[in-house]
Structure 1
Amino acid sequence: MFGTVLIANRGEIALRVARTCREMGIRTVAVYSTADADSAVVDFADEAVCIGPPAAKESYLNVPAVIEAARRTGADAVHPGYGFLSEDPDVAEICAANGLTFIGPPAEVMARLGDKAGARRIMARAGLPVLEGSAGTRDSAAAAAAAAERIGYPVIIKAAAGGGGRGMSVVHEPRDLPAAYRRTRAAARSLFGDARVYIERFVETARHVEVQVLCDRHGNGVHLGARDCSVQRRHQKLIEETPAPGLDPAMVERMCRAAVTGALATGFTGAGTVEFLVDGDDFAFIEINCRIQVEHPVTEMVTGCDLVREQIRVAAGARLETGDAAPRGAAIECRINMEDPRRGFAPAPGTLAEFRPPGGPFTRVDTHAYPGWTVTPDYDPLLAKVITWGPDRETAIARMDRALSEFRIAGRGVHTTTALLREILAHSRFQNAKHSTSLVQDMFP
């Protein structure tokens, strides 16, 4: 097992990884920007190293600074969390070249799956259903238009190197495609350094369901059930839950088995998610994520499996200790973002004059915030995650509403998604598991 793990991230995920490492007896090193000098993980970790100014490209994305911090502190492994460096195959290769274990899949697997268009082809060969789409990337508006005509409108243009719900444009009419194509390529180049895009059929009333998988280096793979992630704004998730409600159990089981088959076909190791769109009784693969997900706590709540611990064990060469999921009850996660839903989810950074998270039975809060903490515009607006468990979905929802009602967050200019989340929980479509990815858009037309 590793002696020291450097956590190449910030915020709640950095603190969450550090806590599991402490339970495992592993020494931790936090890295931080000057904006995060007073962060909770800096205080919690065994050692902390400043790696640059607030701008992410000069700190958390500064690979030489991260590697130098690992060298100076004697780390033998790097945990990337999610976002930032978590799915960069070059970083995994650089870690290996410097005698560090990257806690994630092998570099070649990340490179293979980081090309979303290529991943579609791999999964199709493995026997997974995929949405109708372009066979590969499209390098001109004319080629994109031809693919869209063949697929049929509406379509969605996606960045081949995309992730996190970014780098996408939905197109309903042929006349709108050229501008959307240019816009998506520009966004892909800016966000991911790769302008390639591909096209898929867009399902307007789909459910977004993902399967948590674990695979080790010995050829073993298991699933830990399916999570519903359909409540989204601008393709980014707000509420996640498990088990995925209102779906045929036999179909969900087929989806989970397909996810393991697909992951093993790629040589994947570690913790990841295979994502699907569900349309009626049909499901189709959309992408595979090579990292721990923001919403992983709901799976932990119903299975009792510490996914970060399994990531670390697998990276150290151990065999999986868990079998396929036998979930108990239901769990829901709500993301508390520093955003103003009434202004198009505009970021609303500021200093927290008051920050009092909820408590109570079967209620978990993952956060790095505290009274006096300043949320800057430099990073993702995620402030906290509230996760509740119940013996059934109705209890988990009621417990979540109670927890959100207790949350006290205040400060000059501070706005959060808390009130919106309670609106969604009370919405009849959500209550009856009749919601889809269009729910938030329908609520805020």
Structure 2
Amino acid sequence: MNYTNRRDVTVHQELVSAPMLSVTENILLGRLPRRGGRVLWAAAHSQARAVLDRLNVDISERTEMSRLSLGQQQLIEIARALVRDTKILVLDEPSAILGQAELEVLYTVVDSLRQQGVGIVYISHRLGEVMSLSDRVTVLKDGVLQDTLLVEDLSEERLVTLMTGRELTAPVRPGIALDAPVILDVQNLQVRGGRAPINFSVRAGEIVGFAGLVGCGRTEVARAIIGADKAPGRVYVDGELLHRRNPRSSRRRGLAYLPEDRKDQGLLLHRSIRENIGLASLKTRSRWGLLRSSHDKADTQRHASAVGLKASNLNSTAATLSGGNQQKVMLARWLAASPTVLILDEPTRGIDVGSKSEIYRLMKELTDSGLAVVMISSEIEEILAMSDRVIVMRERRIVAEFAGDEISEEAVTRAAIVSPDQVSPDNPISRTNAAEGLSTIRGVVND
């Protein structure tokens, strides 16, 4: 086969960009126009701009790739595929790291390409988008073909059963007692680019969901809390001020943070599962600076079992695991450190519905035991299903907070995309409004 003339292109779930090169160089990687051995930069930038405009992506083609968000980088990966005369486009979890506005762009591009005669293989764990974008659906479970069905012959419930082998139910959130102690208290935190200080608290046994568009500042707040990014303000854990805010002191005081990019920011992919699980609790599992081998093995196995990790050998590298099991390794790592506050940034990004169900079960068990949880998620269904309170951010400030019966898809989405001065019961979100800025996430959280 002549691979240079292939007209099928795969956009992988994990980014394969060159972070230190420009957007133009990434889009035209290996295909930069040349004359006499020199790159024709004007022509290159023009080509890149044309494909970005086709995607309706407002990103400068001269920007360094590393300066973009994960969602923006994913759109650049798709743009690279469209430079070629593609006839078959394979999209592997393309929406996993996209925010709501970027999702709308993706869905529009997929529909446009289909109308142009491009065959699309769309791999996704978001059942709603599978049902809305597909003509036929093929279900695999543990590498085995389960069935191929026309969309009109499917329901989301049937799809979940095919994927997991069982029906899944949402965890029941009983609500938090008003007299539960405050475990995390954030006061006057000023993130970079923020227009107002951030103030919120989380009680024992409570899940506080952070909603908003990609780039609204949710991750920046999480990183500022643990001291990964410097930011003025005060953070109290169990009523005590965290004086020296940095990741090490935060961990010692019981703050645990699972980043949204587990592969680049969380896991040591080429080290063993056992080593990855033990990273946050080395002190408790060692004596005089040396690991106690038998104790370490038993402790690691216990925490791996607690999160339902599926791995044949804990000495295998983390790179050999699926996305869902990699996320469980991250959770097991922090369980071993016995945290009091767990900050989860996109905890179910790019994982299957079965793994989602297990992570939700674990979150419920942790909060039942008194842990305080902050959950950042771009999936509105996840926010609605799991949160006791919802904090909505826009333009790096908190614009709304909802609790109990106040929490609804309409209220959360309106606050996320409408200027705070315009948020009111008399200004509901319409499909037209959403299409201009974002659409409600169509990914489904059935479990």
Give the TM-score taking structure 2 as reference length: 0.28
Structure with the largest fraction of strand? 1
Bigger RCO of structures 1 and 2 (CA < 8 A, at least 6 apart):
2
Give the TM-score taking structure 1 as reference length: 0.28
